[in-house]
Structure 1
Amino acid sequence: MNRMLSRFALPAGALLVLWILTACAPLSPLPPADTASDAMPAAVTVDVATVIGPVSPLLYGSGYGPWVSLRPETLPLAYDAGITVLRWPGGEWGDHNDIRYPQLDQFVELAHQMGAEPYIHVRFLDSTPEVAADVVRHANVEMGYNIRYWAIGNEPSLFEAGDHPWDAAAFSAEWRKFAAAMKAVDPTILLLGPETHQYTGTPDVDPVDSSGRDWLRTFLAANGDLVDIVAVHRYPFPNNAERTSATIPDLRADAPRWTEIARNLHATTMEETGRALPIAFTEVNSHWTRSIRGEATPDSLFSALWLGDVLGRLMTERVTMMTQFLLVTGGDSGFGLLEKYGPRPSYFTYQLYKYFGHTLVASSSPLDDVTAYAALTADGALTVMLINLTDVEQSLPLAITGLDDPAGERVRQAERRLFDVEHTAEMMGSVDTTAPVVLPAQSMTLLTFP
């Protein structure tokens, strides 16, 4: 067993305000990189002078619920995960059970210990606006938690399939009553919605109700004036009737789709509301089934690399929030960043992004399955994330322009952190960046230029 896999077997304030002010509109596509010549491989390029904007501090999220738990072995890992927002209770559980205040209080304590913003989903099915308002009252008035992020119901686009009489129009009208009651208690809360399932922005596959109405568009037409962040869910696999797990080529081909999907969500929001509202993907994983122990299931190395690339694409497309599903699961599914006694590969995706900068700048890669993302830290260091989704080692020159470095000294060497089959987001020392940068097969590399 290799070193990394044996380890797996062992028992945000002012920046967010700036983000909300600048992040809602989609970007124009960056120009394509030049084609590599036969004589010299084309370079990964970074243009520090071309600032895309702040990286949302809410992109590094996850979910948690009363049906899972952290053990003494995994609590320290959760505290150190780098999770910035924690969604609760989420999932189907949240629409079939009432929130108990002791549970909520324990969750808020956990979120605070993790350094994460709490994000609460109140029950919609078999509940009332008054009950939802009471949850807000307990949390923000009586307890003073000042929880900012709230949602009403989970994946309402599946309600009719579960024999619940809520089509898109009826849900949207009732959602409005919940929203008004909750905001009457605390006008400062931010509401996310509608959290429909499997959004892509493709009309022939997006969820519709029993009358053929598009769920997201119906909701936005009714509540575009009340919703604060437009939120949807997506799990790309399985995508067949047999519910077979994805292969590595399947997952590799899916990653670029997130660029188009995020742009579609921005466009749909503007079309239906006339406003450039923030957008979010509040349940994300490679599989929606309990797939586990496959080459590309959620507990695999490749799914962790896919998640890393998806994160880079979402920040490039100005997405405000992403919450991966789920923080921890046992051996019956691969969803969790953590398993019962330790980390899964996707945990180290978050570990690497803990060192990524906060101000995104332009970058490009000459290879389709090698992606590059670059950002400046608060103290001016340049960070470059290089994700190699190919099955072979890649060696690419690095061309950095626009850095305040008249003598060219800063770009000669970088600190390197590596996540691959043998390394768990570890510091690997300094690397000479005047020579081509070597990227191991199926890996994430973070370079930091102090």
Structure 2
Amino acid sequence: MPRDRTHRRTRTRRRIVAGAVAALLAGAGAGALALSADAAPAVAVTVDAGISLGTVPSSGVGLNTAVYDTYMNDASAASLMKAAGIRQLRYPGGSVADAYHWKTHTVTGGSWAAPGTDFDHFMATAKKVGAQPIITANYGSGSPQEAADWVKYANVDKGYGIKYWEIGNEVSGNGYYGSKWEVDNHADKSPREYAKNLLAYAKAMKAVDPKVRIGAVLNTPGSWPDGVKASGDAADWNNTVLSIAGKSVDFVIIHWYPGGSSTADLLKSPARIAGVTSAARSLINKYAGSHAASVKIAVTETSSAQSPSQTSQAAALFAPDTYMNWLEQGAVNVDWWDLHNGPGKPTTVHGETDYQDGGVLSVGSCSGGTCEPARETPFATYWGIRSLTALARPGDTMVKASSAGPSVAVHAVRTGNGGLNVMLINKNPQNTAQVSLSYTGYTPARGTVRTVSYTKGGTGLVTATRGTAAAQTLPPYSITTLQLRPASAASRAEAPSPAPTPTAAAKVAPASGTIGTRAQASAAGVPVGRPDRSDTAGDLASTGMGSAVTYSALGGLLALAAGSVLVLRMRRGRGSHAR
């Protein structure tokens, strides 16, 4: 009897191997075979490289800095920002900007300015990072003359060439609608008064340097107090401000903290960005007249601060998804809140300690008996932002990409050298995701592909060669970017033309030639294709990607038919916003 059982086991193994080989031969054109007894249906991802969503702005990936941050100018912080591809730094902070006097480096009211964080020290750090500054002029306790003097000092006396200037922070938080967190010493705190003063600021500042661009503070469409009309007002804040100043401003300012009671809510929220952008663009079109097309949208604050996750993996996944959704919708920049912040009350999110710290780098302090890692240790959010360096550089072309499953987000970019990078974000905290990818307007090279990934608990980006352009297995709660090469020179002739408008994707015919040479700005951060460390295994059967193992080599399984043994190696609440 034992011998009979041995024969049956042998026959069963042969049938399994034969079936596997037959399946491979039947589907050899797909170039891959997934073996899994319990694999979920693959999520279909489609990339249309012929539909342009615009180019990546030179200042697209930004970060907030604040004058009360003692460690703002640490050399290690500058190095980490540069490596993360940070292209814009906002100064002097959030609400503190409406109390900060740049000449004296002092603050009106309850905040303070740390030593060594004055404007010139900030500019020295911005230069080290290779980032453009965006400055928030003091509306709450300042004046048009103070702002004009700042422009003169920055651009005329020092030659810094600072282009973007916001007039105030969240000015509608001045108590006019009931809640007050913003300094505003004007007797009249209405949107009419803000618009009138905004014009005065713009006139004074442009008289010094006509090249500066002036931004107006809006309430985020769909978020309080958007739509609220105070007693005696004919319209809400946004409509009132733009009806008066819409033809004079160069950009509008949105702060986006989507919140949600769960990490799942947080990770769904980037899908709402298209609607927020559309609402803002409608207001601009309504009031800016012929000037409307040139008025930009700047998202000068965003983060996961209103959600349960701030330093844990959900926030890391949210960050690149948020940046890319805004940029694909035409935003000129997106600035994360912020470089350093400090811990709140630590909690546990999906098995990870979340320090409730709004910064991307640790300050090394303790709260409630729980201590953060050493100062300047990157949190998961930092690595989420840095993942963008594997996807895109300024001047690259964002293209249309879509996912058939809500648990997988996708973004794609055509690079200046003819490549196509595809970022896949698995939002499921427990399960791997099988993904099947299809392409139009681009033909990827066959074989395994280079990937750059960030996974839960990681301390850096990891590069590997695994999967194919058509099939990938994504670890739970992970970011994986495929860096694809074209199958032939013919693919380079399929480059998309720029979208005619920033809010609507336009189908374009294949263009001749290659995509134009991308902008080679200084301090580019980590170049695409140069992650900070590599995975030397490079073995598809041992990548740790779960129970489904993908083989793209026909010879491997043909050898099994000759008797080889098949072995599967499974492998921001308001209070934290620096008010």
Tell me, yes or no, whether TM beats 0.5. yes
Aligned to 2:474: 439
| Of 279, 283, 287, the match for 2:305 | 287
Q: Distance in 2 between matches of 1:411 and 1:219?
A: 54
1:84 and 2:87 correspond: yes
Matched residue SS, 2:96: helix
Matched residue SS, 1:69: coil
- Give 5+ residue unaligned stretches, structure 2: 1-38, 106-117, 345-355, 364-374, 486-579
In 1, are the aligned partners of 2:192 and 2:240 still within 8 Å (CA)? yes
CA offsets, 1:40-93, max 9 Å, x none? 645211122222221223221111011013345534323322111111013111
In 2, are the aligned partners of 1:400 and 1:411 still within 8 Å (CA)? no
In 2, are the aligned partners of 1:418 and 1:426 still within 8 Å (CA)? yes
CA offsets, 1:6-26, max 9 Å, x none? xxxxxxxxxxxxxxxxxxxxx
Amino acid at match of 2:258: P
Query: Cα distance 1:89–1:375, how it changes in 2: closer, same or farther (>3 A)?
Result: same
Amino acid at match of 1:59: G
In 1, are the aligned partners of 2:98 and 2:169 still within 8 Å (CA)? yes
| Of 283, 293, 307, the match for 2:319 | 307
| Of 415, 419, 422, the match for 1:377 | 415
Aligned to 1:399: 438
Aligned to 2:46: 45
How far the C-alpha of 1:428 sits from its partner, in A, is: 2.9
1:167 and 2:182 correspond: no
Amino acid at match of 1:147: I
1:365 and 2:403 correspond: yes
| Of 340, 347, 352, the match for 2:382 | 347
Q: Distance in 1 between matches of 2:416 and 2:70?
A: 35
Amino acid at match of 1:122: A
Aligned to 1:248: 263
Q: Distance in 2 between matches of 1:101 and 1:112?
A: 22
How far the C-alpha of 1:167 sits from its partner, in A, is: 0.8
In 1, are the aligned partners of 2:43 and 2:434 still within 8 Å (CA)? no
In 2, are the aligned partners of 1:209 and 1:215 still within 8 Å (CA)? no
| Of 94, 103, 111, the match for 2:126 | 111
TM-score by length of 1: 0.82
In 2, are the aligned partners of 1:193 and 1:232 still within 8 Å (CA)? no
* Pairing of 1:170-209 with structure 2 (within 5 A): 170-194=193-217, 196-197=218-219, 199-201=220-222, 205-206=226-227, 208-209=229-230
1:323 and 2:335 correspond: yes
Amino acid at match of 1:371: A
Q: How many residues align?
A: 394
User: Percent same amino acid among aligned pairs?
Assistant: 28
Q: Distance in 2 between matches of 1:300 and 1:207?
A: 35
CA RMSD of aligned residues (A): 2.4
Amino acid at match of 1:343: P
Amino acid at match of 1:63: N
Q: Distance in 2 between matches of 1:39 and 1:351?
A: 30
Q: Distance in 1 between matches of 2:432 and 2:40?
A: 19
In 1, are the aligned partners of 2:166 and 2:214 still within 8 Å (CA)? yes
Aligned to 1:421: 456
Matched residue SS, 1:354: helix
Query: Cα distance 1:435–1:184, how it changes in 2: closer, same or farther (>3 A)?
Result: closer
Q: Distance in 2 between matches of 1:343 and 1:140?
A: 33
1:268 and 2:286 correspond: no
Query: Cα distance 1:411–1:177, how it changes in 2: closer, same or farther (>3 A)?
Result: farther
Aligned to 1:68: 69
Q: Distance in 1 between matches of 2:469 and 2:166?
A: 49
Q: Distance in 1 between matches of 2:56 and 2:470?
A: 29
In 2, are the aligned partners of 1:48 and 1:361 still within 8 Å (CA)? yes
| Of 92, 95, 99, the match for 2:98 | 95
How far the C-alpha of 1:208 sits from its partner, in A, is: 4.7
| Of 220, 243, 248, the match for 1:226 | 248
In 1, are the aligned partners of 2:383 and 2:461 still within 8 Å (CA)? no
Aligned to 2:32: none
Moved more, 111-120 or 55-64: 55-64
- Give 5+ residue unaligned stretches, structure 1: 1-37, 239-245
Computing the radius of gyration from Cα coordinates, the structure with the larger value is 2
Q: Distance in 1 between matches of 2:256 and 2:46?
A: 31
Q: Distance in 2 between matches of 1:80 and 1:318?
A: 25
Aligned to 2:171: 156
Q: Distance in 1 between matches of 2:428 and 2:484?
A: 25
Matched residue SS, 2:461: strand
Q: Distance in 1 between matches of 2:362 and 2:297?
A: 30
TM-score by length of 2: 0.64
Matched residue SS, 1:255: helix
How far the C-alpha of 1:346 sits from its partner, in A, is: 1.1
Query: Cα distance 1:416–1:221, how it changes in 2: closer, same or farther (>3 A)?
Result: same
Amino acid at match of 2:441: G
Aligned to 1:430: 465
Query: Cα distance 1:327–1:411, how it changes in 2: closer, same or farther (>3 A)?
Result: farther
* Pairing of 1:19-34 with structure 2 (within 5 A): none
Runs of 4+ residues deviating >6 angstroms: none
Query: Cα distance 1:203–1:297, how it changes in 2: closer, same or farther (>3 A)?
Result: closer
